[in-house]
Amino acid sequence: MEIKNVILHNLIKEEKSTKVKLDDRKKENEVNESALQLSKGINEKFNSTGLNTGHFEKPEVDEQLTHFEFLLEKYYNEGFDNFVGFTKSAATYLQKQLMSAPSAKGGHLWFNHYTHAGEHFLSVVLLREKMVMRIDKLELEQFDSVDLDKLHMAARINLTKWQNADEQSNRYISFKIGKEAKKVTDYFAKFIGCKEFTQAATDTKALVKCIVEYCRHHLFDEAKTEMVKNKAHDQIVEWRKEEKQTIHLDTLSTVLDATFLPEDVDEEKKGQFLRISQGEPHNLNNELATDPNALRRLKKYSGRNKHISLSFDAKLLGNSVVYNPENGGVLTITEIPKTLKDQLEGKN
């Protein structure tokens, strides 16, 4: 990652008030170690949790672009000639959105233009502070620190893909979704101008189903099915480690075919995973953001109700864990964890 431009503005909003003051910075922040560490921390948060993805709302004939995209069109051309002017205009627009959302809070607005793997990105994050403790000369002191545990409002735009977007690759905006997602969606999505969202968790659950259907189509037995699921899981995790924000179903389809189908297989039998995932009822986009928690379904079975929570590795099904769907469904476990067995036998 190479940071090109970075700046912080401050949106000050009084509690239970519609008044919002913009304290704008007059020149860009220095690209120093603090900026690099903050950028790294924000990216790690993006890459470790589920995302919503989408694109700028498409204007109708004779209608103008959304305001944020209009600003990008005005100020960006493979670089920002006036990053301060762009960010101040964008911050002023968010200021108006916050005024119309009485329950919303202000914060420091972080803009970061950087390059990675030959592509340009723009991160827009509303940062807040939290109180932390430190020890100084054996005295406890409180001070404010940037809160990276919760990215309440954050978006990352792949500027390269935005400029080259087509109907097949139009998910160039990623949103970090946190506990306040419903509040974020309304005014922050309006600020960015992203109308269409796709929930990564929902898409990833559908992706898992498609992998299972792929195995059924090729009549793989349980052992080979588990191998396919593990391969898909590990491959997607590897792509995430490479900081690839999305996966491509056609690439995953090629990987699965090359790994699990015979070399002399008929051409028409190839690409079945892609046909399953992009056909009814899944209709997944070729470019897909994945959710780590939902992805674990390839490795584990889990479920809970008010009284029981149960989780086990997928490879155990049919071995030490046997499921009989008859008579309402019976799950038999023959390999009980020692700590649980001791409790049941009253040993602790």
Least confident of 151-165, 183-197, 293-307: 183-197
CA distance 124 to 42: 10
Give the model's pLDDT for residue 138: 61
Question: What is the mean pLDDT of the segment spanning 71-77?
Answer: 95
> Quick check: 97 pLDDT over 90?
no
- Going by their DSSP bridges, the two strands 20-23 and 2-13 should be labelled as antiparallel
Model confidence at 325, pLDDT cuts 50, 70, 90, reads: confident
Model confidence at 24, pLDDT cuts 50, 70, 90, reads: very high
| Structural contact between residues 277 and 241, judged by C-beta atoms closer than 8 angstroms | no
Residue type, 234: D
CA distance 331 to 322: 6
Phi and psi torsions of 210, nearest 5°? -65, -35
Residue 261 DSSP SS3:
coil
Give the model's pLDDT for residue 45: 72
Give the model's pLDDT for residue 186: 66
Residues 230-277 pLDDT 10s: 999 999 988 887 766 688 899 999 999 999 999 888 888 899 999 999
| Structural contact between residues 207 and 276, judged by C-beta atoms closer than 8 angstroms | no
| Structural contact between residues 195 and 310, judged by C-beta atoms closer than 8 angstroms | no
More confident position, 313 or 226? 226
CA distance 302 to 298: 11
Share of the chain above pLDDT 90, in %: 33
Model confidence at 60, pLDDT cuts 50, 70, 90, reads: low
Alpha helices per DSSP H over the chain? 33-48, 67-75, 83-99, 159-163, 181-192, 200-217, 222-241, 249-260, 272-278, 292-295, 338-344
Give the model's pLDDT for residue 181: 46
> Quick check: 61 pLDDT over 70?
no
Give the model's pLDDT for residue 318: 77
The single residue listed with the structure tokens 């990833």 is 204
| Structural contact between residues 66 and 193, judged by C-beta atoms closer than 8 angstroms | yes
* Average pLDDT in the chain: 82
Give the model's pLDDT for residue 185: 53
Residues 109-156 pLDDT 10s: 999 999 988 999 999 988 876 655 667 666 666 555 555 566 667 889
Question: What is the mean pLDDT of the segment spanning 307-318?
Answer: 79
> Quick check: 195 pLDDT over 70?
no
CA distance 56 to 66: 7
